[in-house]
Amino acid sequence: MEKRNKKAITILSVLIAATLAFIWIHSCMGQEESAEESGFFFEVLGPVLEIFAGKGNVTELFIRKLAHFTEFFGLGLELMLFMRLVLIRSPKVIRFINAWIFGTMCALIDETIQIFSGRGPMIQDVWLDSAGCFCGVLVMMFGIMIVDRKKKRSYADAQDDR
């Protein structure tokens, strides 16, 4: 493995661990603390999101669900890039499935943590988290494909210039 890839894998591993810590620490919050945080983000983001969703369509519940999706979307981006670096010789579909399954397992752990923090775990949140991860993995996979195509074109152009 190239020295550059080892460094990238290490940095990405730390980033994934930090993302999971962020997600799981928030799951450890009690109901009151979580509601307070949701209220804060509702006040800050509500007016902006109402531009897109329409006046009165943004609720605290919407903000909480958006947070679930967004956290796991970011995790999906990171996981797909990680799989690209680690499983470099594996087919794209295997990398995709591995990243998505890992993200979904993290979502299950997230909701399990909420059992012990006195909050109500919900299967719909696992589905929402899994969908966020799926979308993140998909976006990163297409991004990787675009970058790989550009590299191949650049290489082919350099060969033609000889």
* Sign of the Cα pseudo-torsion (13, 15, 124, 69, in order): negative
Give the Å distances, CA to CA, from 36 to 29, 30, 39, 57, 73.
Answer: 10, 10, 5, 20, 23
Whether 155 shows a pLDDT value over 80: the answer reads no
Residue 44 — very low, low, confident or very high, per pLDDT cuts 50/70/90?
Answer: confident
Q: What is the pLDDT of residue 162?
A: 59
Domains of the chain: which residue ranges? 3-153
- Inter-residue contact 82 to 141 (CB < 8 Å): no
So what's the pLDDT on residue 140? Answer: 97
The overall longest dimension of the chain from CA atoms, in Å, is: 67
pTM: 0.86
Tokens of 73: 């979307």
Q: What is the pLDDT of residue 77?
A: 98
The predicted pLDDT at position 108 comes to: 96
| Mean of all residue pLDDT scores within the chain | 89
